[in-house]
Structure 1
Amino acid sequence: MMPEPWRSISCGAETVQTTIYMQEFYKKALLALIVLILVDLLLAVFFVVRSFPEQVLLPVQHGDSYWQYLTFSDQGVGGASSVRLRDSRDRLRFDFKLKDVAPYPFAAAAMIFKDDKGRQIHADWSKFRTITFVATCAPASSLTFELSTFDKKFSKPGDLATYRPPRTYFSCSEQGTPVTLDLARLRIPDWWFPAMKLDLALQGYELDKVAKIMFGPSVGTPHNVDVYIEISELTLHGRDYRYLTALALIILAGWVAFGVWLFRAHARALLASVDSKVKTNLPFVAYRQLTLEPYKDKEKTALLQYIASAYTDPQLDLEGTAAATGVNRNKINEVLRSELGMTFNSYLNKLRLTEVSRLLTENSSAAVSQIAYSVGYSNVPYFNKLFKDEFGCTPNAFRTLATQRPRQQAADNAPVEPPV
């Protein structure tokens, strides 16, 4: 009978031993994939929220800066229009009356951005695309929305008359009208360019230095009538593509890193699996050599010696072995099952594949097909299938992994330097 150590690695036991490394790899890979997906989802939520910034202007938010309400009218140029603010911090409320005294009657209320020391500052609105608010007025009318933006080419800091005044129009009603304005589609009035001695074609403006926003009448606003205006829920909305770009780059880097880790981890697991398989087959090689020695049971001796010496013959089969050894074919299978726990074909393939693994490791220049032919396989695709079933990888991959084993073992056995 065969030695006990050999029995412990026969049949199903060796399959468990050689696949446990891959099972551990698959568990780790699945866990890493789940973690990566969860992290990507959290990052996506964070960056998508960041990519749609909002800033609430009304109600006034607590912070280092605030809006100061101011009024403007035509009284400075000889007009008689009037405007009066109503006390409120959560909304802009004012009354005005346009009187036909000046050529162009005018009255408006503005919000000027200042710091905590009362100094006028410029707000950076470059990341915002739209502004929304609720406009209430009595009587219903159309009004003007206007910005004052600093232009470093000619604007004088603090002198709002030299700032670009892009504007647009909106409707309001007594019930309150939700308004959405595109900050990139405002238009500078034509009269402003001759006043500043600028070319009328220079219509562009920037939103990185906004000093003031103003609400006032339009050509459709009635004259000589008391008009009440209320602006509430004033909010800036934007879209910052830098966050989406950063999200894409981070996710891409994460998946690339995962792919590199997956490839290396798979290679390590496969290497460990192959190494275990090779070590498992070492007692088998020794046992094959043992069968060439004298054996008490001459019938078994003749059978095992014949297979051990003739396994490279491509024509070797159960019938030929029975004829050559004089042992009944049923007896052959009975002997192999009792000695090795294998059938004739399993034993023959085990002998051949074990020898192939040795040749692949020791002879790096020989072609795989040449090695297959040398151990008795005449059908290379069939041999490749058997080899992959046995070792979990192709012969070429096995050869590559076999060359890595000494380096991996050297790294594993290298002494660890004590911390300084």
Structure 2
Amino acid sequence: MHFYQADETNPWEYYWLGFNGSRVAELLLCNGINGHDSVGTVSPDNELPELFERMMKMDLFDMKEKMSVQALFYSIFAHFKMEKNYALLNPMSIQQKKYCELFLLFVHNNYSRLDLSIQEIAESINLAPAYLSQVIKKEIGVPPVQYLKAHRLQQARILLKTSEKSVYEVAEEVGYSNVDSFSRAFKDKFGVSPTIFRKAKKV
């Protein structure tokens, strides 16, 4: 529960924007936002209200406007900056955020590789795997192995929705060498097997 008290003579104007997706954690982190942040500022111009007005006039469920909506969302999000004085932050905290950004970038560019390992990711950042795990758990709330698995399964879900690739091909494309292991992991994550999920989306 939250309580807000606006100024009586100069009240606020409210805009609420909800969003989700497989790259939310990365998007927030790159803008310096984590689970401990709550207040920020926006650019002091009239562009932001105009962007919100444009978005509210768009059909968010029209696939033909999908890219335009996404571009508009990024334009809106780019105006927000959290109120942080980085000069007061512990240099180690800043470095850990950079490590996390590098980890997310590496995962999103290499998750399809069958041989990808946390050991390799850690070495690419010049960190010990145990320390990388500690940093990632602190910054995004889950260990790196769990994040990699969740990202792979989310990408598989998208492929099953949007392509005609076989379950075997999807499994291989998201980094699983064994289709049975992939199917078990997918069912544990989403409650249904990949085959049933694909059939359901065609109904």
Q: TM-score range by the shorter chain?
A: 0.5 to 0.7
Q: 2:192 aligns with which of 381, 393, 398?
A: 393
Following superposition, the deviation at residue 349 of structure 1 comes to: 0.7
**Gaps in structure 2 of 5+ consecutive residues:** 1-18, 33-93
Aligned residues: 122
- Do the aligned partners of 1:384 and 1:394 also contact (CA within 8 Å) in 2? yes
For residue 25 of structure 2, what is the aligned residue in structure 1?
Answer: 287
TM-score, with normalisation over the residues of structure 2? 0.54
Match of 2:180? 381
Alignment of 1:87-126 (within 5 A): none
Distance 1:402 1:335, change over 3 A: farther
Work out whether residues 100 and 139 of structure 2, in 8 Å CA contact, stay in contact via their aligned partners in 1.
no
1:12-411 matches, within 5 Å, as: 282-288=20-26, 293=30, 297-363=97-163, 365-404=164-203
Change in Cα spacing, 1:314 to 1:282, as seen in structure 2 (3 Å) is farther
Q: Structure 1 pair 288/355, CA: closer, same or farther in 2 (3 Å)?
A: farther
| C-alpha distance 290-370 of structure 1, shift in aligned 2 (>3 A) | farther
More helix by share: 2
- Structure index of larger Rg: 1
Aligned mates of 1:327, 1:308 — CA distance in 2: 19
Provide the rounded CA distance (Å) in 1 between the counterparts of 2:31 and 2:181.
Answer: 35
* Aligned-partner residue type, residue 122 of structure 2: A
Measure the CA separation in 2 of the matches of 1:306 and 1:290.
Answer: 17
Going from structure 1 to structure 2, the CA distance change for 1:300 and 1:340 (only over 3 Å counts) comes to closer
Distance in 2, Cα, partners of 1:360 & 1:337: 29
Q: Which AA in structure 1 matches 2:118?
A: L
Report deviation, 1:377. Answer: 0.8
Distance 1:340 1:357, change over 3 A: same
Separation of aligned partners in 2, 1:322 and 1:395 = 31
| C-alpha distance in 1 between matches for 2:202 and 2:153 | 18
For the 8 Å contact 2:160–2:198, the answer to whether it is kept is: yes
Helix, strand or coil at the partner of 2:196: helix
Equivalent-residue separation in structure 2 for 1:357 and 1:333 (angstroms): 26
Whether contact under 8 Å (2:26, 2:101) holds in the other structure is: no
Question: How far has the Cα of 1:300 moved from its partner?
Answer: 2.3
Q: 1:288 touches 1:308 (CA, 8 Å); kept in 2?
A: no
For residue 284 of structure 1, give the secondary structure of its aligned residue in structure 2.
Answer: coil
- Asked if the contact 2:113/2:174 (under 8 Å) is kept, the reply is yes
- Structure 1: unaligned runs, 5 residues or longer: 1-280, 405-420
Contact kept in structure 2, 1:303 and 1:327, CA below 8 Å: no
Match of 2:46 in 1: none
Q: Secondary structure at the match of 1:283?
A: coil
Q: CA deviation at 1:357?
A: 0.5
Give 1:21's aligned residue. Answer: none
Query: How far, CA to CA, are the matches of 2:21 and 2:105 in structure 1?
Result: 17
Post-superposition Cα deviations, 1:119-171, rounded to whole Å, max 9, x if no partner, equal: xxxxxxxxxxxxxxxxxxxxxxxxxxxxxxxxxxxxxxxxxxxxxxxxxxxxx
User: Percent identity between the aligned chains?
Assistant: 26
Deviates further, 382-391 or 335-344:
335-344
Aligned letter for 2:165?
A: A
Q: Structure 1 residues 282, 402: closer, same or farther in 2, change over 3 A? A: farther
Rounded Cα–Cα distance in structure 2 between residues aligned with 1:302 and 1:390: 26
Q: What's the CA shift string for 1:241-293, capped at 9, x where partnerless?
A: xxxxxxxxxxxxxxxxxxxxxxxxxxxxxxxxxxxxxxxx94333334556x5
The 2-side partners of 1:370 and 1:288 are apart by: 27
In the alignment, residue 308 of structure 1 is paired with which amino acid? H
